[in-house]
Amino acid sequence: MDLDRRQFMGYFTLLGLSGTLFPGALWAQTQGRGPVTRLHIEAAAELAGLSFTEEERALMLEDLNNLQQAYERLRQLTLENALHPALIFNPLPRGFVPPRPSGPPNRRPRPRPIAPVEVPSDLEKLAFLTVAQWAHLLRSRRVSSEAITRMYLERLKRYDPVLQCVVTLTEELALEQARQADREIRSGQYRGPLHGIPWGAKDLLATRGIPTTWGTILYKDQVFDYDATVVERLREAGAVLVAKLTLGELAWGDVWFGGTTRNPWNPEQGSSGSSAGSASAVAAGLVAFAIGSETLGSIVSPSSRCGTTGLRPTFGRVSRYGAMALSWSMDKIGPICRSVEDCALVLAAIYGPDGRDPSVIEAAFDWDRRPDPRRLRVGYLARAFEAEYPTRRFDEETLRVLRQDLGLELEPVQWPDLPVGAMRFILDVEAAAAFDDITRDGRIRQMKRQGRNTWPNTFRYARLIPAVEYVQANRLRTRLIEETARLFERVDVIVSPSFGGNTLLLTNLTGHPCVVLPNGFREDNTPTSITFIGRLFGEAELMSLAMAYQEATDFHRRYPPRFLPQTG
């Protein structure tokens, strides 16, 4: 492909875009858009890998000029980020029937019996308790929600300057919710295992009257007059919102308008993204649990970096109403916690239809708090584990634990042999559509991260991806869904290196759930991770295996030394 500058900028005229998208193209800044010409068609055809005759180009001119006018008419209307496309992604393969609920959702599953916890005079010494442990103490009234909330608020204030994980501290709301929880628990109105427990929200979730910044200076003062469904459901469960936590700008990376969110195990490192603050705050013992979201690794990656346990639910399991839209066919919301059991307790509170997100599918979630993994058929990505990669020895030890300690037969499996990487641009196109307005008016130049591998560059080049190729990629995605479904006819859960075997991209395209959890520590004392992938809407079985593995190890019970409460 050999487009000259005139041809290339001509293609932008065809798209109805301005040459000012490219800094330095000063000559283009003075040019009007004008009509589409044969030269523009030639440039567009070359970018798309097509060839038209002179006669064919002449025939296309009138239609393309009409399209350009249509683009302008459409752009006169404001499309808010929350407005979803008419085409709703459905991850279900042909013939697949989600597990049907036998009754209303059980929002109050009981945690397993646990060993008694001594309550010290300094409550901060319990900062790393799990949700399940806090629930036992609160229900028995051995601690108050207000005391726990004040302890976590103090830790958030003390350690945020180091970690840069908080966008907005919601102290007034938190203390109000904590006092209400205490009153209700004292009067016997116990709402369930999240009642009175402090949590943090990734700052792409709408919270009534509180800024929701999406991590960027462009929306720093944005305030909604409603709560996201997840926020609403956690409030109904009695949970206490203590902070809006950082995310990389518009949900990419760990760099936000206030700085870089840090990894508690090594504050010289970023915490990875985009659920950067959620993972960092949980890992450092600043909240009991947090909510993150994932489009392509945004729960898996920061959980891996920070040593937390993250659950990415099935696409369509949790409503995204009130959450920033990045990719309508790939966005998912899930918990980041200190244990698999905690993830199950949070999922029970937030899953299911709400009548506002049309992608949500009604399906049962029957959490078994006494899992028996031996009844599961478990596969592992043999080729991925055999590859050379830095954390291979930790993953091999995970396989040994599954085989020898848990007594499982592991079946070697392989993902479908399809060009998964070539479908990656589906996300780019949808993200560019979600933020088309700030691309066209140039506000993306105000974002903190610029250059390659950033949203500003992605939003620009995605405008050059032909609509036909986007549709074709989604047709191939259907084949990927069907072939992956056939693989899950043989197994219930698949074990994979967290970043190997194309697992991350493939399962985000197909919508399959996963649990990521720590499985070792490097020489520099930073955590490594392993990923378990379940069938569509198979979170209960998936977490059954992940929980059994976690209980056979102790990696999730190790905490970053710098953030441990002082003893003495």
Residues annotated as catalytic (active site), given as ranges? 202, 274, 298
Q: Which SS3 state, helix, strand or coil, does residue 459 take?
A: helix
Place of tokens 């499982």: 408
Under a CB-based contact definition with an 8 Å cutoff, are residues 331 and 314 in contact?
Answer: no
CA 183 to the chain's CA centroid: 34
For residues 62 and 528, give the distance between their C-alpha atoms in angstroms, rounded to a whole number: 58
User: Encoding tokens for residue 213?
Assistant: 């910044």
Please give the DSSP secondary-structure letter assigned to residue 133. Answer: H
Please give the DSSP secondary-structure letter assigned to residue 403. Answer: I
Q: Which SS3 state, helix, strand or coil, does residue 309 take?
A: strand
Output the 3-class SS for 322-367. CECCCCCCCCEEEEEECCHHHHHHHHHHHEECCCCCCCCCCCCCCC
**Phi-psi label, residue 560: left if phi above 0, alpha if psi -120 to 50, beta otherwise:** beta
Report the alpha-carbon angle 333-274-221, nearest 5.
90
Output the 3-class SS for 169-207. ECHHHHHHHHHHHHHHHHCCCCCCCCCCCEEEEECCECE
Provide the H-helix boundaries in 387-538.
Answer: 392-400, 425-434, 436-440, 455-462, 467-487, 503-510
The closest alpha carbon to 439, from 453, 457, 454, 425, belongs to 457
The closest alpha carbon to 544, from 415, 393, 406, 409, belongs to 406
For residues 564 and 448, give the distance between their C-alpha atoms in angstroms, rounded to a whole number: 32
Under a CB-based contact definition with an 8 Å cutoff, are residues 216 and 447 in contact?
Answer: yes
Under a CB-based contact definition with an 8 Å cutoff, are residues 408 and 398 in contact?
Answer: no
Q: How many CB atoms lie within 10 A of CB 233?
A: 23
The closest alpha carbon to 245, from 204, 284, 192, 306, belongs to 204
Q: Is 481 exposed, middle or buried, given 0-12, 13-18 or 19+ CB atoms closer than 10 A?
A: buried
User: Encoding tokens for residue 469?
Assistant: 């190729």
User: Encoding tokens for residue 487?
Assistant: 């693989």
